[in-house]
Structure 1
Amino acid sequence: MSSSPEEILAGLDDEQREAASTLSGPLCILAGAGTGKTRAITHRIAYGVQSGVYDPHRLLAVTFTARAAAEMRSRLTSLGAPGVQARTFHAAALRQLQYFWPVAIGGTIPQILDHKVRILAEAAKRLRLSTDRASLRDAASQIEWSKVTNLTPEGYLETPDKPELTDLDHQSFARLYQAYEDLKHDRHLIDFEDVLLLTAGILEDDERVAAQVRQQYRHFVVDEYQDVSPLQQRLLELWLGGREELCVVGDAAQTIYSFTGAKPDYLLNFRARHPQAKVVKLIRDYRSTPEVVSLANVLLGDRTREQARLKNPPVWPEPLELISQREHGPAPELTQHNDDDAEAGWIATRIAELAQEGVPLSEMAVLYRTNGQSQTFEQALSQAGISYQLRGSERFFSRAEVREAMAALRTSSLVDDDESVGEGVRAVLSSHGWSAQAPTTTGAVRERWESLAALVALADQLAAEREGFTLRDFVAELQERSAAQHAPTVEGVTLASLHSAKGLEWDAVFLAGLCEGLMPISFAQDQRAIDEERRLLYVGITRARKYLSLSSAVARHAGGRGKRTPSRFLKPLRRQLGLEEPTRKILASSGRPSPNARKRTAVCATCGEVLTSGAEIKRRRCAECPARYDEALFEALRQWRLEYSKELEVPAFVIFTDATLEAIAELKPTSDDELLGIPGIGERKLEKHGERLKAALAENLS
């Protein structure tokens, strides 16, 4: 679909428009989560193509996942720039390596090794090193880190800042690394990191090849630039050859792959390397509600405030402070549960409630720190009859029903030229297990239907976006997405690790297991590693559009000893949500708790059960027990809070949460002491809002 340059820029905000209309010279776009960075760079490319500044065949856009590259190509096609190359670093390098290998090296290109462990096991055996599969996987990761950091086995030993190994000393690892390289060479094999290394080597050694590549590509765009490794930066500089027609996009606050060699330094120091660079900041968040954005800002801002108190702290760049462009939504929930099963059960219940309210299952996700945590949530969702998809399991386009469907769509004679794409796809897939109504059963039948329903939904979406879209176009799109593993949305709750959730978003996000040892993870020992854990939680929070829940469990198993403590990162979030930490009086000059200060256990005022979540404690009742508050007074207080929040220009929940208003409407306090007895009202809140609250109460109770 061709668009005029003016039409391409229409609909962009001022900062996006500034980025999209800057077509020459170095450009650095600092883009916070949800600020429309992909929109900005795809419109920039399309605007440059339609303006005649860019030749679409001489521009290379690189990103870090095949899914992101496929999404970029899809958007560019919709914007009238279908010829632009959008690839991952590895895909772009491999294409060049395959093309130039016969000329630069000669002979046939080596076969690419899918997995390192088999060759590593043989190398370890030759060296008589005692290793198990886990230690071999660790060694494989260490080799990957070494290569993307441009380290040979000899260079690895000389590097002071190398990661520690669990089962091998550094000398033994260097020997294993060299033996692995020797085996690959003997068997004419290369690994994925070699693709980048060899391409860089050819460009450095052969000026003819370098000139040909630089003639082919005149302009470059790099997405997720905060995740660039030294090897990728080296390759990028070789592509550029000293030119400055480069646009980079990134956010240092979303650097979560340092363990793979990623460094935000290249993004942070871009202006130092390119003094003429223009810097554009995207801070308008179109994804998340003000309540979610506020929590994300507080999490990063808390670390900024810590910087002055730390000794020799690592660099903590000033984060982008996002401004939500959406209407207000519900306050995020922060809960603590007795054990992991209780936490998973509560999350399953909340998911069922949101589904009843109309939130699609595909728009909900449960995110956790390690993959080993998924089993508890799988079991809880299965018991509740809620379908889910485990991100990182069998790939969508590898499923038998999807392969069958694609074959049927290619060869089908059921579709005539007058039929819409959506109707045609439905007609073909109805004989393969798709129906207008979802099956009521769970298991394989439901999973098959969900896969086919995802194809139907994708057909409808693409037909609506692209004028003249045909079944043949749809089949071609599926083939391209299959090659890139760019899967459509499946109807089911997503279960995923925080790392694998990067680049995705949902209406409702449940961040689970937020306790010390998991967030931050136990092996994050120094400040640099802890900072990365904070950024990882930030990425998790900013995946949510509207509903956000943060939870932890005191014990691992039911009846177990509750030794876990909530994550340190939750403290500033708790304050932001008005969930004051319980305080204990300290004896003057002793530093010890007063013996008269009793630690009180919160119990339900109706049934007497112990309360565990912050919302229940504030309400003084279990979630299942009926409300005891004056509903008319509660609604009057909510209206007062709304008007007061507009006056202060802050979100309403920052003043008092609904749970606190319910407690006020139940107890009807009239004095400062009575107000301080209500959970969620501390000295600070009383000082800031107490007089206005008492006036509102007096007006509504008279």
Structure 2
Amino acid sequence: MKNIDLLKNLNSKQKEIVSENRKNLLILAGAGSGKTLVLIRRIAWLIYKENCSPKSILAVTFTNKAAKELKTRITSLLINNFQKNNIWIGTFHSFAYYLLRKHYLNVGLTKNFQIIDSYDQKIIIKRILKKLSLKDKIFSIENILKYINNIKNNILNNHFYKNNLYNINLSKIYDEYQSFCKITEVIDFNELIFYLYKLFLNNPKILKIYQKRFQNILIDEFQDTNDIQYKFISLLYNKHYNTKIVLVGDDDQSIYGWRGAKINNINRFLQEFDKVKMILLEQNYRSTSNILEVANKLISYNNNRLKKKLWTNADNGDLITIYYALNEFDEAEYIAKYIKQKILKKNIKLNNYAILYRNNSQSRILEEILLKFSIPYKIYGGIQFFERQEIKNILSYLRLISNYNDDSSFERIINIPKRGIGNTTLNYIKYIANKYSLTLWKSSFFLLKNKNFLNKTSFYALKKFITLITFLKNNIKHQSLSKIIKQTIKFSGLWDMYNKNCLFEKDNTKINNLKEFINAAKYFTKKKLQYKTKLNNLKIKDVNLLTDFLSQTLLLNENINKNNEKKNNYIQLMTIHASKGLEFSEVFIVGMEEGIFPNKISFDEKSINEERRLAYVGITRAKKKLTLTYTKKRFLYGKEINSIQSRFINELPQNCIKNISYIQNISVLPKKNYLFIKKKYFIGQMVYHKNFGQGIILKIEILKKNEKLQIKFDNTIIKWIMSNYIQSSI
């Protein structure tokens, strides 16, 4: 293969990396700089130009997807099966698994050892808690799991944390967990690298075999490595065998410190390995010049970074839009209107648009408004708000409180949180219900009146559950909707279940989602009160607030699913963490406010720096246009607060920014556009008609000067009615 084949279409720095003599290299690769292409060409160069055996090459990355892409693309450059079959390309974990299968005896494993996932780990931990008579209300299974993984990822002594009774018990759980795994011949995912490290550390002869073989080591996304992965690399490296390492990473994109990644590993490599040459990939092939200038300026506020500056031959492009919204609804509507205008102008691919947010709980209002504007969307790497476990659980409690005969809700939450009602008891409740044609609620009363049917433990557990629901039912009288929900979350035990003492993760996503659900209730109440005033003026009786809220929530979720089933063309919603490695023509980053982004738990320089890197990652996902939004006020943590603009916005260069404010009444839409000037209604909205009474909107058709609404009325009649015949709405 000629040089031109491997150096074709590369810039000068890329060529330098590909064609460099064998030596230790640190490739500091900025976002969108073509690092994967360079890595592939470098491997081919080692084989064709440096005459390295394919067997000597070990290429490691972090995800199966990245490993598969690397393998596919390098294979296309190789000419025979020997070359293709003898390069080792994979993840850290797959490499560890491969070697442990060969050397299981040397680390005390059995031949048939199996790998378990986090679900299996949780089952084991539950058994251990029961064995040690420790309550899972105090010892969160999630936190125990994090403790176990932290010990292994950082090669810590389990007894390191024995400084109080809680940690002493954690240490006991760890010991029991390890003993159980050994007896049952299983190892967990994180143990793969832990055991590989032990294999190399305690077996010099085996280590020597692989040091001799893998003399060319290439590692991608090095900024994401943890302590044990760094030490594994250090063990495999051997100057005597002329081992050379090529590391590709970007300290500015190190955003996984919360799960053990060590940004300092890049500096350690420069200091601890021989004669490392650092090459910067700064030319960006993704974004416009304005986007890069904003990203460069923002990240420059971080100290102790390996300085680089992204640049491009592309045009300046659009200015970065900063939208100052009145509240979170105005924020979401601004984005939805902008996208809807694009849809009207031309047949666009919605997949090229992404809305990014710091926290999962921020998606709820975005989902609601996108549905209102009939814009299909997809939660990338996540679950739609009303499909999340904690939301479905609280909804089931509320539905059962509202309607004792809701069997599906009864079955879902009868043992959530755990209250000693197992499948045997539930199946017997179902049996009685089927036999006597009863609901599960009435079947439970039947069993409680006849004590001989259940054992003592099951009887009192069921009685306690029925008493709880009855108490919550009686407690909703004269209470606001948000207070009903707060009390249900509290007395049901859901709050305690999701808010157990966090050992490592300070930001509890499930709790944030429950808080956002309370916010939804407050907003619904506010709009409902406006509607109720109109109904009172018309002398129309209002429906029960809780029942109405539950009905609209259910219908909203149903319409989300129907709306998204229609097309494969979605706008993508995701956290900024989930967006890493992706790119989109246009990107919106919402919630650029203190307490959201940067996160409320970021209070020291180290955590603020990681938040700033996260903002940098979000910004550099955009190819052509970037919009950042923040609000004057928003519902947060159960109350309306005045927002403070994120410090990150203040750090951006003003010459690259276009400010738009709700105060200026500036719209990205032409004022004559009937679709947005006239539109008053949305799917799931409650409305009133003088002849048919109160109803709920199921579908909307946009006409030239009006809207045609399909409405389901309280008497179950469904009709299509022009919007000008609707007398009032919320």
How far 1:362 moved relative to its partner? 1.5
Map of 1:219 onto structure 2: 216
Identify which of 313, 338, 355 aligns with 2:326. Answer: 338
> Are the counterparts in 1 of residues 153 and 260 from structure 2 also a CA contact under 8 Å?
yes
Map of 1:146 onto structure 2: 151
Aligned residue for 1:140, secondary structure, equals helix
Map of 1:261 onto structure 2: 260
Map of 1:296 onto structure 2: 295
Map of 1:206 onto structure 2: 203
Greater shift after overlay, 59-68 or 266-275?
Answer: 266-275
**Residues 344-371 of structure 1: CA distance to partner in whole angstroms, max 9, x if unpaired?**
2222222333444565211211111122
> Are the counterparts in 2 of residues 112 and 189 from structure 1 also a CA contact under 8 Å?
yes
TM-score of the pair, normalised by structure 1:
0.64
> Are the counterparts in 1 of residues 215 and 243 from structure 2 also a CA contact under 8 Å?
no
How far 1:205 moved relative to its partner? 2.0
Map of 2:582 onto structure 1: 504
Map of 2:237 onto structure 1: 240
One-letter amino acid of the structure 2 residue matched with residue 503 of structure 1: G
Identify which of 173, 180, 184 aligns with 2:181. Answer: 184
Residues 618, 278 of structure 1: alpha-carbon distance in 2 compared, 3 angstrom cutoff: farther
How far 1:114 moved relative to its partner? 1.0
Please list every run of 5 or more consecutive structure 1 residues that lacks an aligned counterpart in the other structure.
159-164, 305-315, 396-440, 451-490, 580-613, 628-702
Q: Distance in 2 between matches of 1:522 and 1:146?
A: 27
One-letter amino acid of the structure 2 residue matched with residue 92 of structure 1: F
Q: Distance in 2 between matches of 1:65 and 1:343?
A: 34
The answer to whether the aligner puts 1:46 opposite 2:44 as a matched pair is: yes
Identify which of 20, 23, 26 aligns with 1:25. Answer: 23
Q: Distance in 1 between matches of 2:96 and 2:383?
A: 27
One-letter amino acid of the structure 2 residue matched with residue 296 of structure 1: A
Map of 1:588 onto structure 2: none
The answer to whether the aligner puts 1:573 opposite 2:642 as a matched pair is: no
Map of 1:667 onto structure 2: none
**Residues 128-167 of structure 1: CA distance to partner in whole angstroms, max 9, x if unpaired?**
3333499321332232222111113113448xxxxxx9xx
Map of 1:107 onto structure 2: 110
How far 1:292 moved relative to its partner? 0.5
Identify which of 122, 127, 148 aligns with 2:127. Answer: 122
Residues 169, 509 of structure 1: alpha-carbon distance in 2 compared, 3 angstrom cutoff: farther
Residues 148, 524 of structure 1: alpha-carbon distance in 2 compared, 3 angstrom cutoff: same
Identify which of 332, 338, 343 aligns with 1:350. Answer: 338
Greater shift after overlay, 9-18 or 239-248?
Answer: 239-248
Q: Distance in 1 between matches of 2:171 and 2:327?
A: 43
Aligned residue for 1:184, secondary structure, equals helix
Map of 1:85 onto structure 2: 88
Map of 1:252 onto structure 2: 251
Map of 1:658 onto structure 2: none
One-letter amino acid of the structure 2 residue matched with residue 95 of structure 1: Y
Give 1:520-559 correspondences, 5 Å limit: 520-557=598-635
- Matched length: 487
How far 1:245 moved relative to its partner? 1.0
Q: Distance in 2 between matches of 1:572 and 1:289?
A: 19
Aligned residue for 1:269, secondary structure, equals helix
How far 1:340 moved relative to its partner? 2.1
One-letter amino acid of the structure 2 residue matched with residue 120 of structure 1: I
Aligned residue for 2:316, secondary structure, equals coil
**Residues 422-468 of structure 1: CA distance to partner in whole angstroms, max 9, x if unpaired?**
xxxxxxxxxxxxxxxxxxx9856964973xxxxxxxxxxxxxxxxxx
Residues 340, 616 of structure 1: alpha-carbon distance in 2 compared, 3 angstrom cutoff: closer
Greater shift after overlay, 565-574 or 85-94?
Answer: 565-574
Greater shift after overlay, 94-103 or 511-520?
Answer: 94-103
> Are the counterparts in 2 of residues 616 and 623 from structure 1 also a CA contact under 8 Å?
no
Q: Distance in 1 between matches of 2:108 and 2:669?
A: 72
> Are the counterparts in 2 of residues 385 and 442 from structure 1 also a CA contact under 8 Å?
no
Give 1:605-620 correspondences, 5 Å limit: 614-616=659-661
One-letter amino acid of the structure 1 residue matched with residue 55 of structure 2: H
Aligned residue for 2:55, secondary structure, equals helix
The answer to whether the aligner puts 1:60 opposite 2:139 as a matched pair is: no
Q: Distance in 2 between matches of 1:318 and 1:618?
A: 41
Map of 2:170 onto structure 1: 173
Residues 625, 392 of structure 1: alpha-carbon distance in 2 compared, 3 angstrom cutoff: closer
**Residues 626-658 of structure 1: CA distance to partner in whole angstroms, max 9, x if unpaired?**
59xxxxxxxxxxxxxxxxxxxxxxxxxxxxxxx
Identify which of 300, 303, 307 aligns with 1:319. Answer: 307
Identify which of 96, 100, 108 aligns with 2:99. Answer: 96
One-letter amino acid of the structure 2 residue matched with residue 35 of structure 1: S
Q: Distance in 1 between matches of 2:329 and 2:288?
A: 30
Residues 335, 133 of structure 1: alpha-carbon distance in 2 compared, 3 angstrom cutoff: farther
Residues 156, 250 of structure 1: alpha-carbon distance in 2 compared, 3 angstrom cutoff: farther
One-letter amino acid of the structure 1 residue matched with residue 314 of structure 2: R
Give 1:423-572 correspondences, 5 Å limit: 443=561, 447=565, 450=568, 491-557=569-635, 561-572=640-651
Q: Distance in 2 between matches of 1:246 and 1:448?
A: 49
One-letter amino acid of the structure 2 residue matched with residue 51 of structure 1: K
How far 1:321 moved relative to its partner? 1.3
Q: Distance in 1 between matches of 2:665 and 2:377?
A: 34
Q: Distance in 1 between matches of 2:371 and 2:48?
A: 51
Aligned residue for 1:496, secondary structure, equals strand
Q: Distance in 2 between matches of 1:493 and 1:624?
A: 19
How far 1:567 moved relative to its partner? 1.3
Map of 2:378 onto structure 1: 389
* Greater percentage in strand: 2
> Are the counterparts in 1 of residues 290 and 656 from structure 2 also a CA contact under 8 Å?
no
> Are the counterparts in 1 of residues 594 and 646 from structure 2 also a CA contact under 8 Å?
yes
Q: Distance in 2 between matches of 1:337 and 1:560?
A: 18
Q: Distance in 1 between matches of 2:9 and 2:635?
A: 52
The answer to whether the aligner puts 1:16 opposite 2:14 as a matched pair is: yes
Aligned residue for 1:12, secondary structure, equals coil
> Are the counterparts in 2 of residues 23 and 53 from structure 1 also a CA contact under 8 Å?
no
Map of 2:697 onto structure 1: none
How far 1:95 moved relative to its partner? 1.3
Residues 231, 530 of structure 1: alpha-carbon distance in 2 compared, 3 angstrom cutoff: same
Q: Distance in 2 between matches of 1:571 and 1:189?
A: 52
Q: Distance in 1 between matches of 2:290 and 2:346?
A: 20
Q: Distance in 2 between matches of 1:345 and 1:138?
A: 38
Give 1:351-390 correspondences, 5 Å limit: 351-355=339-343, 356-357=345-346, 359-390=348-379
How far 1:386 moved relative to its partner? 2.4
Q: Distance in 2 between matches of 1:138 and 1:66?
A: 26
Residues 622, 226 of structure 1: alpha-carbon distance in 2 compared, 3 angstrom cutoff: closer
Q: Which structure has the greater CA radius of gyration?
A: 2
Aligned residue for 1:247, secondary structure, equals strand
TM-score of the pair, normalised by structure 2:
0.62
> Are the counterparts in 2 of residues 298 and 576 from structure 1 also a CA contact under 8 Å?
no
How far 1:52 moved relative to its partner? 5.1
> Are the counterparts in 1 of residues 632 and 642 from structure 2 also a CA contact under 8 Å?
yes
Greater shift after overlay, 61-70 or 210-219?
Answer: 210-219
Residues 442, 337 of structure 1: alpha-carbon distance in 2 compared, 3 angstrom cutoff: closer
**Residues 399-427 of structure 1: CA distance to partner in whole angstroms, max 9, x if unpaired?**
xxxxxxxxxxxxxxxxxxxxxxxxxxxxx
How far 1:177 moved relative to its partner? 2.6
One-letter amino acid of the structure 1 residue matched with residue 367 of structure 2: E
Residues 171, 574 of structure 1: alpha-carbon distance in 2 compared, 3 angstrom cutoff: farther
Give 1:532-681 correspondences, 5 Å limit: 532-557=610-635, 561-573=640-652, 575-577=654-656, 614-616=659-661, 621-623=666-668
